[in-house]
Structure 1
Amino acid sequence: METLITILIVDDEQTIRDGLKHLIPWEKEGFRIIGEAANGKQALELIRVKKPEIIITDLIMPEMDGLEFSQVIHQQYPDSQFLILSSYDDFNYVSQSFKNGAVDYLLKPTLNPQNLLHAIKKISLKLTKKHEGDSKQQMTSQSLNRILSGYMDDFELKKIAEYLDFTTFQLVYTNAHWYQDALHVQHFLEKNDLLDTQLCRWLPFYSTNGDLGLLLATKNPPLSKKQLKTTMITLQATNPEGFFVIGDPFTEITEVSQQLRNLAQKSLGQRFYFKNIFLIDEAESFLLNHEALFNTKRFIRDILNNDFSLGIQRIEDFFNQLILSFVEPVYLKKQASSFFYTLLSTLESSYPKSTTFRQLKLSFFNELTRTDYLEDFSKVILATILKIRNELQEQKVNNLSTDELINDITFYIKKNFQKELSLSQLADAFHFSYSYLSTFFSKHFDCSFSEYVNAVRLQEAKRYLLESPLNLSEISEACGYSDLSYFSKQFKKEFGISPSRYRREKHS
């Protein structure tokens, strides 16, 4: 018994749908209407369940018009063919519908049983040829998969070469392990009409270890990255995290297995460094390093001596170096796991009352595992370091009384007032953040940091003026002022009298 070709009708007018159903004796002609829908959204659900081979659709519809609908069909259900109907003889609509994969186009005012049946039979003929081509492609792809799995057979290699016809070969490579839905990528490569058969023939492949892609055969010159990117744009739209590497051309089909092994090896770790890049040439891949020097002994010594700030700085400097060195991602993650486990475990033991370090240890390894790209890895490292520093700062504040901290800051400034001093230097010296120390200073000293340092220097200047034989220029420098006129101005502003007059009056 002959299998009937299935048809779905999509039009927002009930009268049109009814008319189409009765316009032709469908089953007598080898077809069967399996459903109808009033718009593209309704039709998509029917297509998902019933998978019609031919779709007759209107162009102008509510919810989802025919152009948008045809684009979705072309991307998600490439096996379905569709015929466009419209009341409008609009060239732009016609042109776009054919870009979206429409096989034919009929105007409703001219629609009759003869031209509709002619258009449908033309589509069914294409379907038959496509099924025959798909069958031959599937058989040849199976031969290619066997070859790539290590089964070398001259007869199968000859079949592959005959099917591909052209003699300049290229591999387009990706890996199933990079995708949550690798079957979608495989289906796209197997079913979509990717390339112009006048310029190129191709075979999809899928090896047992997850290597996935296309074997291309072209006339000289081989396809460029730009040409391939244009043909694969629909896959990029539905799977934006896709990543493909185009191999160098080769001319002997017997080299295909070795070419794949080489390309797969070169592609290891590359995706990590190419976020938002869909397609690269083999020549663009990075030569990845597999190790980097890190002074582990110093790091461990810092941690055991509770000098956590220095240990954290060593980690930060090390990963900044690794990130710029294009290190193999597995090694990068392994190093991060090792160092942060040691650091966070020691912090957890040193601060048993804090739950933050324990929580950070759990969240860090979960986040690290999910990083697929260098950009995301860097964000996890930097965010974790920031959280550790903030928690250490919080613990230090909790363990140090306000009076102790004020005394320590006061002593530090009096000891170093003759040098250049800044709040950033003070924050580094006490291992606090700039913003925290600025707020603390304003709150507990009733003035800004610079005002306080200036007051200390001027008090010391008074002592020098009374007790030392130094001249004004020497006193200015000894008190941290590089400019004598500025020193004199600040002194007079603070005490209402110039430094020289102050010395004369006190000594008279």
Structure 2
Amino acid sequence: MFRVLIVDDDFTTRTNLRTIIEWEKYGFEICGEATNGQNAIETIKECLPDIVITDMSMPVMDGVALIEYIKEHYKDIKSIALSGYEDFSYVKDSMKNGAVDYLLKHKLDRTVLLNVLKAATDTISQQHKLRRQFAQSKEILQHEFIRSLVLGDEQDSLVIQGKIKDLELPLGVNNFSLVVISIDDFQLIKGRLTKAEEIRLVASVMNLTEDILRDMNNGVLTYLEMGKFVILFSFGTIRSQRSIGNQINTTVNRISVSIKRYLNITACFSIGKNFDHIEHARQMYQEASDLLNRKMIVGKDQVFRDAEPVENTVDFFNLDVKDEKKIMLFLRIGDYEKVRQQLDLLFDKMIVLKVSYKSVQMICAELIGIANRLARAASIDVTVLYTNKDIPYDEMKKHETIVDVKNWILEVYHRLIILLLDVDIKSNYSELTKKVMEYIRQNYTKDISLHQTADYVGGNSSYLSRIFKEDCGIGFAEYLNKIRVRQAKHLMEHTDTKLKEIVKQVGFNNYTYFFKVFKVMEGVTPVEYKAKYKS
């Protein structure tokens, strides 16, 4: 609704204006009436109209003086002159002073009034549009300027101060600090959003943060990339580090709470140290940004401060050869639980040692390499190990904490184990046979039988036995022993585990029976086989 104030000392004219059209129907609201210019000024202060329709000839203060007053003090209000025959000269003066149009009382009807009102609202709308465009342009320039500051394009202090003044930024000439904000799991979130949804998310974070910064009026925000923002603060003459720290902490806490509450996301904040020269913003940003690497070990939804002492970290940490062999062995024999335990030990050690971010990446690259080598050795398409088309090393970088990275690698390893176990399952096997083979591979270490397996897959044991042998060419028991012997061979080839322990680990209950089965299948005894690989 456009708000309209009617000013005329004649009651009949005011009544006619009130009733000549259905104001609300056409998007207008009469917010008040006044009998002269002086009364109108008081009413304007109270109701702040968009349009003032004023008579030209009035006592105390006439329409010309009122329109001139409005032009000087309320540039956004549009005036419409209301004139009779005898005071048409007033109209010329009113137009000079900014009236958008005029109405002649003797020709006033609904069509004339609506046309004049439309002219006024068109002018208001155009001004609002231009004002918005100007504000948006200035905002864009402000963001680009802060980006250039922290990313290093702006270095000359005089040029910088000139731009701060031109862009009307709330920044002084010294005593600065900055905060880097990084949305947790942004790359994973981005993968679930359309481009428009991603833009809206970033805009929402910007709006919430800028509302909070507006209360302080000493900080400016800009978006950099990939869920990362930077706030540049200016504290002027404040020298108390405690006062500065309290202001920043309060701001960071409010932003953190707001994005959790309204956007259901979390972020990490990196608070840099104070600096006096604005041209040092690039260096301070880089230092604050580097602090975010602590997220890998410490976790998400954290605040990192430059002033906090950093405990000794291990800059170089690689995968031990013994650990690598164990992981490869457990993957080959399909023992996911042992794989998980091995990774738990490895990653727990990395957390305790607080290994550097680069070392974590190196370890993860080695673990991915293990999966790729085993897949290629089994003629498995490596790309099927990963859930999307990303290069695995890029996919790994999307996970921002060491726990998330471990869980992702475990998912890859779990898919690999399933694929390795499926290598000799032919596509023309019946679904029943495939289910039996899968059940055996997952449970060969336990004391399982044909009857138990039939119950699990939901079939008759005699029918299952017949179908299985038709597909595989060997019976259920022979296939089970084949899997157990194959896993026993892996253990003998790659570990120092004693034979009696191996027998138990692969599911044989009887040591003598294991020897017999092994000799029939391999042509040598387990002792002879093991000796060949340890010689």
Give the structure-1-normalised TM-score: 0.44
Q: Which has the larger radius of gyration?
A: 2
